Structure 1
Amino acid sequence: MDFKPERIPVPKYTDVNKQRFLQEIYPLRKPVVLQDLDLGVCRTQWTLDYMSRKGGGKEVKIHVSEVPQMDFIKKNFIYRSLTFDVFVRRAAEDKHTDFFISPDEKYYLRSLGEDPRKDIADIRKQFPELAADIKIPEFFDENNFFSSVFRISSPGLQLWTHYDVMDNLLIQVTGRKRVVLYSPRDAPYLYLSGDKSEVLDVDNPDLSKYPLFSRARRYECILEAGDVLFIPALWFHNTVAEEFGVGVNVFWKHLPSEFYDKTDTYGNKDPTAASRAVQILDRALKTLDELPEEYKDFYARKMVLRIKAKAYSTNFE
């Protein structure tokens, strides 16, 4: 079956300052590409030689995959450590003479805190020499800052579709990246496992296995070097590095702090109230198993109706 979904372009804006962002863009709760922002000297200075020199011998933990499509559910990759200068040069290569699995392997860095179990990623702390080169758009209150994640991808690398529970800006400093997004309203069509979609290949999905995926509306954009993508919380996104690329994700808390799990250092744990609700639902579904099939079916449908009436919004896309 040919799969040719409608590709809804993500709107692009120029001449955006904090006031315009907060008044015109942010309340819509939809992705937008922001162009021509002042991101500092990183745009011109973050060459391979410069980054290798500045990052130096700092050891980084990286994902290494034999195939371009990384799958976080099935874990089709391994973790390895390299010094930053060696990693950057390997990640920029199409083929490798030094490698862990194969000459065609792909690399991905998602920076971590010093102790990932306790510390958030903050480029100012883990890579201060490089952080001095980039200007983070000041579109949110500094007190709401959560993390700034340094990301580097091999050309061709595709990351799994997932959502985050915080708003974020994806700053594409160098290289070109394709981003495909799906609305939170389309979650029923994405075959979720936690915060991730089981549909790995969004361009050529197996519709015999994932028939509802064809209903999901596909938003898409190409980020050129210097573009910034605003991704509202709960919007699903899937990225492909069309070129070797360097970027920084900045996450901030747009809800009161008590909504978030205090043990979450990655920014991907569901709000505590949502986690409790899911646990209660799991217990309710287990209780339904005590009933004969006919009754189980009937009361499960009643539960679905109550959830729809209670929780579903009609004005959020």
Structure 2
Amino acid sequence: MNRHGAVPQTDVNDSWRGWIAENLILGGHPETLVGIMVQSGIVESSARAEVDAALRSPYLRGVSRLHNRLAKRDWVLGIQSRLNQLAQYEVPRRERLSGEVFLNEHYRRNQPVIITGMLDDCAARSRWTFDYLAAQLGDREVEVQFGRNADPDYELNSMSHKRRMPFGEYVAMVRDAGVTNDFYMTANNDGHNRDALRELMSDLPPLTEYLQEGSNGFFWFGPAGTITPFHHDLTNNFMIQIAGRKKVRLIAPCDTPKVYNQRHCFSPVDGRNIDLQRFPMMADVPVIDCVLEPGEILFLPVGWWHFVEALDVTITVSTTHFKWDNDFYTHYPRNQDF
């Protein structure tokens, strides 16, 4: 029988062996690992035997070489990361960029930009009022994300938050909501909403300087307070801001090793309040802030981390149908557990 307060004896299973391997690869000292295992109830002789076996394993040596290659890639990324800290960066606003200038100075260089002036005559900006949307399309069934406040991983679990309702009912909810992140119509609902709201796309300019002819977009519509957590896209993206303002926080791709990306394209770092005790590597990561105004277009380059908060009721149309190569997802890792 264990003495009062003693840790129950624990066997070494494959979960522990995986933990040993991962921590040895990450530079953990063998004696430190043994100490942790003993504190967890593993007999010291068993703990030492398992750590010694891992150190002798040819499999671990092979994985260690792979880890060294990744460390070299992180070093290369870190060069640009350190250079980015030498001066404060602001997302430039550029009026009516030509396609050639946009391609050469932003798209090809993977640099964000806010384009102004291209939506001055956009019919959607004056036409898409609450009353208009409800009157024209109110009886259409649409899909919306609901119950987001109760789930800290609502983006990862977006499939479980889908709900359908008449568009007119949703418009009324947004009108009366105040500030909330509990519901939001996003690109994750586009599979259903594209057909239901198809007429709206004709109110947008074609933007053929940058986009393929006949391009469609993803319709985003929600109250003030909606939050899209830090993530990166697998393509280049336009955020075409029709109504309301959005605060956007950006992190360059070279800082990916510091944003604690352990699942797919998401980061657990909260853009509203970056917790440096929980995420200390974020301390030297430059976070670039901008506010996207109605009538502006934000170019989000592929790989850039972004956090988006609606400051007002907002309508945004996003699109990925650029005239130039935008297939960065074909070779994206299939195993998305990092």
* Structure 2 residue aligned with 1:138: 208
Cα 1:152–1:115 change in 2 (3 A) is closer
- Equivalent residue letter for 2:293: E
- Segments ≥4 residues shifted beyond 6 Å: none
Matched letter for residue 40 of structure 1: C
- The code of the aligned residue for 1:16 comes to L
Q: TM-score, normalised by structure 2?
A: 0.64
Alpha-carbon distance, 1:57 to partner? 1.4
The residue aligned with 1:186 is 255
Distance 1:255 1:18 in 2: 11
Letter in 1 for 2:257: P
Partner letter of residue 275 of structure 1? Answer: P
Q: Which residue of the partner structure matches residue 140 of structure 2?
A: 58
User: How many angstroms apart in 1 are the aligned matches of 2:125 and 2:103?
Assistant: 25
What residue number does 1:237 align with?
306
* Matched residue type, 2:264: G
In the TM superposition, residue 167 of structure 1 has moved relative to its aligned partner by 0.9
- Match of 2:320, SS state, is strand
Among 109, 112, 117, which residue is 2:185 paired with? 109
Q: How big is each residue's C-alpha offset from its partner over 1:44-63, in whole Å with a ceiling of 9 and x where there is no partner?
A: 11110011122221111211
How do 1:81-96 and structure 2 match up within 5 A?
A: 81-95=164-178
Which deviates further from its counterpart, 179-188 or 67-76? 67-76
SS at match of 2:185: strand
Name the residue aligned to 1:202: 271
Please report how far the alpha carbon of residue 22 of structure 1 lies from its aligned counterpart in structure 2 after TM superposition: 2.3
Alignment of 1:126-275 (within 5 A): 126-140=196-210, 142=212, 148-192=217-261, 193-199=263-269, 201-252=270-321, 270-272=329-331, 274-275=332-333
2:181–2:227 Cα contact (<8 Å) kept: no
Change (3 A) 1:248 1:213: same
For the aligned residue pairs, the C-alpha RMSD in angstroms reads: 3.3
SS at match of 2:176: coil
Amino acid at match of 1:54: Q
Q: For residues 100-128 of structure 1, give each alpha carbon's deviation from its aligned partner in whole angstroms, at most 9, with x where no partner exists.
A: xxxx6632102567856xxxx7x5x4423
* Aligned mates of 1:155, 1:126 — CA distance in 2: 24
Match of 2:111 in 1: 30
Q: Is residue 169–residue 251 contact of structure 1 (8 Å, CA) maintained in 2? A: yes
Q: Distance in 2 between matches of 1:248 and 1:22?
A: 21
Unpaired runs of at least 5, structure 1:
97-103, 261-269, 283-317
Q: Percent identical across equivalent pairs?
A: 24
SS of residue in 2 equivalent to 1:198: coil
Contact 2:232–2:265 (CA under 8 A) maintained in structure 1: yes
- Shift in CA distance, 187/36, structure 1 to aligned 2, threshold 3 Å: same
Distance apart, 1:158 and its partner CA? 1.1
Structure 2 stretches lacking a partner, 5+ long: 1-84
Contact kept, 8 Å, 1:169 with 1:250, in 2: the verdict is: yes
Alpha-carbon distance in structure 1 between the residues aligned to 2:241 and 2:273: 26
Q: Is the 8 A contact 1:169 1:230 kept in 2?
A: yes
Q: Distance in 1 between matches of 2:181 and 2:249?
A: 23
How big is each residue's C-alpha offset from its partner over 1:35-85, in whole Å with a ceiling of 9 and x where there is no partner? 111362111111100111222211112112463996336649833222111
CA contact (8 A) 2:210 2:322 kept: no
Per residue, is there more strand in 1 or in 2? 1
Count of aligned residue pairs for this structure pair: 250
- Taking the aligned partners of 2:103 and 2:188, their CA distance within structure 1 comes to 29
The structure with the largest helix share of the pair is 2
